[in-house]
Amino acid sequence: MHHAVGHRTDCTWSDCSISAGTAAIQLEGWLGCAVTSLAHTATGPYLLGEAIICYQCNSEYDPRCGDPFNPYSLGTVNCSFQPRLEHLDHLEPTICRKISQRIYGKDRVVRGCGYITDQKDNGACLLRTGTHDVRAHYCACTGDLCNSAEKRRPSSLLNLATVATIIVAIPSLILSSPFSLPVLTSSNLSVA
């Protein structure tokens, strides 16, 4: 996991904390670490402005970049270390993109970082056609290494794991809270 400056997740067997700027949460035990880690995984990139990691390749030069995609031994890039584009020097790359092109009968796939976000990111891909057998299929997404496929689909396993952790964590956190209920004994009962 790549962390932005000012963001920290520390886990030990006894406690776990996560902080961003002035906000901090402290949870105890391995369960606290699990809840904190899941919360960070789910919200970190969106709330804390973390870097995004994307596949970067061009099937013109490396056929493994094409479809079907073969990511083994292909390069990935931390988009925050990419040089800024001259005409977009005020923007940092925050998305991964995949562009499938057909130009004059020749197919090419380009994967890399993207700079301009859109409401359709993580949604349906856009198809653009032109004259003279030109076609471009543009997909953008906001998760690490998400530009491996046509469309990013939410992981059912991750959703299930998150729900299961919350179901287990809430009762555990309530039971481990510092308050206690009074115990009735014969010495503190009085008969009027």
pLDDT of residue 100: 96
Residues 62 and 75: beta-carbon distance below 8 Å = no
| Residue ranges, the chain, pLDDT below 70 | 1-50, 119-123, 150-192
Q: Which residue has the tokens 């990111």?
A: 121
pLDDT of residue 86: 85
Residues 16 and 27: beta-carbon distance below 8 Å = yes
Let me know the angle formed at the C-alpha of 145 by 139 and 146, rounded to the nearest 5 degrees.
Answer: 35
H helix intervals, the chain: 29-47, 156-175
Return the SS3 of 157.
helix
CATH number belonging to domain 53-141: 2.10.60
| Extents of the domains making up the chain | 53-141
Dump pLDDT digits (tens) for 142-175.
899 999 976 544 444 444 445 455 565 555 555 6
pLDDT of residue 180: 52
Q: Which residue has the tokens 């940092």?
A: 92
**Considering the chain, what percentage of its residues have pLDDT values greater than 90?**
26
Contacts of 175 (CB under 8 A, 6+ apart): none
DSSP state of 149: S
